[in-house]
Amino acid sequence: MKKAIKAAFFGLISIAFVGSATADITFVSWGGAYTASQQKAYIDTYSKGSSITVENYNGGLGEIKAQVEAGNVTWDVVDVLPDQAITGCDEGLFVKVDQSEFINDMVVPPVSDCVVPQIFWAYTAFYDKAAFPGKKPKNIKDFFDVKKFPGKRGIHTWANALIEMALVADGVKASKVYEVMSTPEGIDRAFAKLDTIKDHVVFWSAGSKPLELVSSGEVVMALAYNGRIGAAILSEGKNFEYIWDATVLEQEYLVAIKGGNEKEALEFMAHASTAESNAEQAKYIPYGPMRKSSINIIKKGEPWFITSSGNIDILPHMPTTPKVLKRAVIGDPVWWADNGAEVHERFGAWKGS
Amino acid sequence: MNQTQTSTGPILTTDGIPLKVSLKKAERINKIRAFLLVLPLLAFILITFLVPIGDMLARSVDDRQINTVFPKTFEVYKKWDRQGLPSEEVYKTMFFELKNSEGYSVGKASTRMNYSKSGWKSLLKKSKRKFKKIEEGPFKEQMIAIDKKWADPEYWLALGQMVDPTTMGYYLNAVDLKYDSSKNIVQQKENRRIYNKTWIKTFKVSLLVTLFCLLLGYPISYLLATLPMKYSNLLMICVLLPFWTSLLVRTVAWMVMLQQKGVLNNLLVMSNLIADENRFQLMYNQTAVVIVMTQILLPFMVLPLYSVMKTISPTYMRAALNLGASPMHAFYKIYMPNSVPGVSAGCLLVFIIAIGYYITPELVGGKDGQMVGNWIAYHLKTTLNWGLCASLGAILLAMMTVLYWAYNKIVGIENIKLG
C-alpha cells in the first residue's frame, strides 16, 4: 500500500516536471464565434508540444498591465485591438516580435513592433430586409436620415467608428476623414451630425446585441461587427443585408505578454500568423485576413466557408474585398490612441445630455 | 501565625512567584494565543484590503511618470514665462532628453502627457524616431519641421500641469476641473464636463434604488416575519431564489421584459391600453437601471429587515391594541421604531452596494444610465488612466466614510442589526 502511494506520488511529481519542460500557453481572446474560429484554425492544429488553454476577456489593457506590474503574468498570448497594441508595446507590456516573415505581405503595415497579424474586422451598418419592403437604405447617409427611413438605429456606446461614419454621412470623403477629425471643427461637425439621430438611437455594448435588436424589430438598422452579421446570415439563415458604405475597418493583432512564457508564446504566434492560418480562420468566421496571400488562398479555395449544409462563398461577406475597400474608412489607431480619451468623454457627455 | 505574616507581603503561588506576576504571565500567553488566532485574518485584511486601498490613494496623487523622464526639461521649463513659445533652451533640453531616453519610459510618459493634451502620445513617438537623424541645433526649427505640433503653445502649456511629483490633477479631473499651465484651478472644457453629472446621477440612482427597495421590502419582510411557518418558508424561498440566480441572467431577463418590443409593451399594446407607436421606453435608460437594480438589490433589504422583525415580539403589538391604540397608531408607535435597526442596516447595505454598481448600468443603462463605476471601468481598461480611476474610487470611498460617519452621529452604529 505504502509503495503504491509512493509510486503515485513520484508519478505525479514527474508529470509536473514533464508539464513544465514545455510550458503551457494561455491564449486570451474575445470568446464566442471568434475564439471558436481561432480554436479550429490554428489552436487545434498546433503540435509544437505546448498545450494551450483558452481564456476570454473583454478587451482593454487593464488586466495585462496589472499582471505585468505585479510580476504575476498568467496570460501569454493575447488578441488585442490596434490602439492597445500601440500603447502596450510603448509601455513595455508586450514582447517585441520578428516581423520579417510577414512585413511585406500585409494589407496595411503593422501598427507596432510587438504584433503579428490576425484579421480585419469592421463596423458595418445592416438591416433586416423585411423591415424595408419598398425602398432600401443604400449608404451611410440613409442610416443618418430618419426622415427618409424612419425608425430607431442601434449604435454602440463608444465613439470609435461613429465619428468617422457621421462625417462620411455629412459629406466628407472616406479617405479624408482623419484629416477632418484632426481639427476641432471636424469633431464638432461629427457631433452635430450625430445630434440628428440622437432621439432615434438605442445603444448596445455587447456584440450580439445589435443582431437581437434588428431581429426583434426593436430597431430598423444597426451598426455591428461584420463577422457577427455574417455569422447570422450564414449560419442562422437570417435575412440581413449589409450597407457596405463608410464601413470602418479595424485591425486585430496577437501579442505576447512580457514575463509570460515568452519563447513558447512567440513560437505559437508564428504558427498562428502564417498565411495558411489566417486563411483557415475565414472558413469559420467572415473576418478579413490581414495578409495579402491569405486572400489569394481563399479566392482559389472558394466556396471557403464551412456550414453544416455545405460550403458557401465567403468573399461577399468580407470587409477587405476591393468593392468594400473603395468606400471604407481604414481605422487609424494612432489617431485614437492620441484622442480616444478626450473624444470618448465628449461622447459620454453627448449621450447623457 | 504564618498566615498573618504573609498577608502583609504579596500573595505567592506554590512555586514562590507572586500571584500577580503569575497571573499576568498566564494572561499574556492567552493574549498571544488569541492574537495568533486572529493573525491570519488580520494579515488577510491587511494584504487584500488595506494595502490595495493605500496603493489606490497613492496612485491618485502620484505624478512621477514624466518628472523622472524629463527632469532637466522641467527645470528649464519652470523659468519659461508661459507667453508664446518656449525658448530654444527648452526645445534643446527636451530634444536630448527624448533622444537619449531608454526603454519604455517615454511610452509611459507620453501616455500621461496625453491625458493633459491629446496628441502628445504620437508626437513623442514620431519625434523620437526622427530625432535620430538630427545631430546639431538649432533644434526649435528642426523639431517644428518634424511635426508642427511642436509649434503649438497648447502642448507646452499642458506640460505646466505636471511639474510637481505629486498632483491633485486627477481629483480635479474627477470633478470637472483642471489645472491651467500656471497651476491655477479652472473649469474643464464645456464639452468634457461629464463627471459632476455622473456623480449626481450615481447618487440619484442609488437613493431611488434604496427607497424603492425599502418600500417594496418592508411589507415583504413584515409578511415573512408574521406569517405562519409553512407560508413564510415558501415566501422566503421566493426571496432567496432570485438572490441565488446569476446577476447576468436576471439583468438579461429584464431586457426581454422591458424593451420596446418586449413582453410588457407587447401586452399593453395587445390589450389596447397603449397605441403601437407609443410604446414605453423602459429599457436602455436611467429608468431601466433603477428598475433592474431595485429587483437585484431587494434581498439585501429584505434579509436584514426580516431578521430584525423576527425578534419583535407580537405581544408588544397586542398590548398596544389592548390598551386602545388603533392598528395604524400601534404600528406607527410600536412596530416601526422597533424595526428601525433593520431599516437602517438594509438601507445602508443597499446604498453602499448600489453606489458602486457597474454591470447593470453597463448592460441596461444605454444613453443616460451610466454611473461612476462605468467610467472607472472605462479608464481602467481603455485609457489606462489609473490615476483618474484611483481618484474616482477615492472619492467614492470618502463619500461612504462621510455617510457612515453621519449615520453614526444620527442613528448610532450600535443600532444596526443584521440579525
> Quick check: B111 and A217 CB within 8 A?
no
Which residues of B have a CB under 8 Å from any CB of A?
103-104, 106-108, 110-111, 114-115, 118-122, 125, 191-194, 197-198, 201, 259-261, 284, 362-363, 366-368, 370, 375, 378-386
Query: What DSSP character marks residue B366?
Result: T
> Quick check: A65 and B384 CB within 8 A?
yes
Q: Do domains A2-120+251-317 and A122-249+321-352 have the same CATH topology?
A: yes
**What residue in A sits closest to B374 (Cα-Cα)?**
A348
Q: Are A56 and A29 in contact (CB under 8 A)?
A: yes
> Quick check: A341 and B385 CB within 8 A?
yes
A230-253 pLDDT, tens digit per residue, is 988 988 889 999 999 999 999 999
When pLDDT is cut at 50, 70 and 90, the band that residue A156 belongs to is: very high
Q: Are A352 and A270 in contact (CB under 8 A)?
A: no
B-contacting residues in A 269-298 (Cβ below 8 Å): none
Q: Are B356 and B202 in contact (CB under 8 A)?
A: no
- Residue A61 C-alpha cell reads as 489593457
Query: Which helix or strand (DSSP H or E) is residue B246 part of?
Result: none
> Quick check: B367 and A342 CB within 8 A?
no
Q: Are B169 and B179 in contact (CB under 8 A)?
A: yes
Name the residue among B172, B374, B109, B112 with its Cα closest to residue A344.
B374
pLDDT at A269: 95
Distances from the Cα of A152 to the Cα of A123, A197, A200, B272, angstroms:
18, 9, 5, 23
When pLDDT is cut at 50, 70 and 90, the band that residue A5 belongs to is: low
Q: Where are the domain boundaries for CATH 1.10.3720.10 in chain B?
A: 196-415
Query: What DSSP character marks residue B382?
Result: I
- Which pTM value belongs to this model? 0.81
Distance CA A13, CA A127 (A): 58
Chain B hits for A338, Cβ within 8 Å: 114, 118-122
Query: What is the Cα A310 distance to its own chain's centre?
Result: 26
> Quick check: A90 and B111 CB within 8 A?
yes
pLDDT of A150 higher than 70: yes
- Which of B147, B205, B381 should we substitute to test contact with A (largest number of A Cβ atoms within 10 Å)? B381
pLDDT of A13 higher than 60: no
pLDDT at A19: 45
When pLDDT is cut at 50, 70 and 90, the band that residue A22 belongs to is: low
- Residue A257 C-alpha cell reads as 505578454
State the Cα torsion A128-A32-A348-B356 to the nearest 10°.
130
Contact status of A340 with chain B (Cβ, < 8 Å): yes
pLDDT at A2: 58
> Quick check: B381 and A58 CB within 8 A?
yes
Name the residue ranges covered by the structural domains of chain A.
Answer: 2-120+251-317, 122-249+321-352
pLDDT at B383: 81
> Quick check: A92 and B284 CB within 8 A?
no
- Residue B389 C-alpha cell reads as 480611476
Distances from the Cα of B345 to the Cα of A256, B244, B293, B411, B416, angstroms:
48, 21, 18, 11, 5
Contact status of A160 with chain B (Cβ, < 8 Å): no
Distance CA A279, CA A271 (A): 12
Q: Domain A2-120+251-317 is of which CATH architecture?
A: 3-Layer(aba) Sandwich (3.40)
Distance CA B310, CA B306 (A): 6
- Which of A93, A111, A345 should we substitute to test contact with B (largest number of B Cβ atoms within 10 Å)? A345
Chain A hits for B120, Cβ within 8 Å: 338
pLDDT at B106: 85
Distances from the Cα of A117 to the Cα of A29, A30, A87, A256, B96, angstroms:
14, 16, 17, 12, 34
User: What average pLDDT is seen over chain A?
Assistant: 89
When pLDDT is cut at 50, 70 and 90, the band that residue A348 belongs to is: confident
Q: Which of A89, A342, A349 sits opposite B193 (nearest CB)?
A: A349
C-alpha distance from B252 to closest chain A C-alpha (Å): 11
- Which of A83, A86, A90 should we substitute to test contact with B (largest number of B Cβ atoms within 10 Å)? A90
pLDDT at B54: 93
Would you tell me the crossing angle of helices B386-410 and B336-355 to the nearest 10 degrees?
A: 170
C-alpha distance from A274 to closest chain B C-alpha (Å): 29
C-alpha distance from A287 to closest chain B C-alpha (Å): 23
Distance CA A33, CA A226 (A): 12
Class of residue B352 by CB neighbours under 10 A (exposed 0-12, middle 13-18, buried 19+): middle
* Domain A122-249+321-352 -> CATH class: alpha beta
User: Looking only at Cα atoms, what is the longest distance across chain B?
Assistant: 109
Distance CA B173, CA B198 (A): 13
pLDDT at B282: 87
Distance CA B192, CA B196 (A): 11
Q: Which residues contact A61 (CB under 8 A, 6 or more apart)?
A: A80, A84, A87, A88, A93, B381, B382, B384
Distances from the Cα of A35 to the Cα of A77, A273, A334, B218, angstroms:
13, 15, 26, 47
A266-306 pLDDT, tens digit per residue, is 999 999 999 999 999 999 888 999 998 998 899 898 888 88
Chain B hits for A58, Cβ within 8 Å: 381
Give the pLDDT mean for A190-199.
94
Chain A hits for B108, Cβ within 8 Å: 90-92
Mean pLDDT by 10 residues, chain B (419 residues): 56 81 88 93 92 92 84 88 87 89 84 88 87 83 89 89 87 91 85 90 96 96 91 91 90 89 90 85 89 94 92 90 91 91 90 92 85 91 88 93 84 67
pLDDT at A20: 47
* Domain B196-415 -> CATH class: mainly alpha
Name the residue among B65, B33, B95, B98 with its Cα closest to residue B166.
B65
A205-234 pLDDT, tens digit per residue, is 888 889 999 998 889 999 999 988 998 898
Q: Where are the beta strands (DSSP E) in B145-211?
A: 177-179, 185-187
Distance CA A54, CA A25 (A): 8
Chain A hits for B148, Cβ within 8 Å: none
Name the residue among A312, A172, A346 with its Cα closest to residue A245.
A172
DSSP bridge pairs for A310: A307
Q: Are B346 and B364 in contact (CB under 8 A)?
A: no
Query: Which helix or strand (DSSP H or E) is residue B417 part of?
Result: none
A74-126 pLDDT, tens digit per residue, is 999 999 999 889 889 988 999 999 999 999 999 889 999 999 999 999 999 99
Residue positions counted in chain A:
353
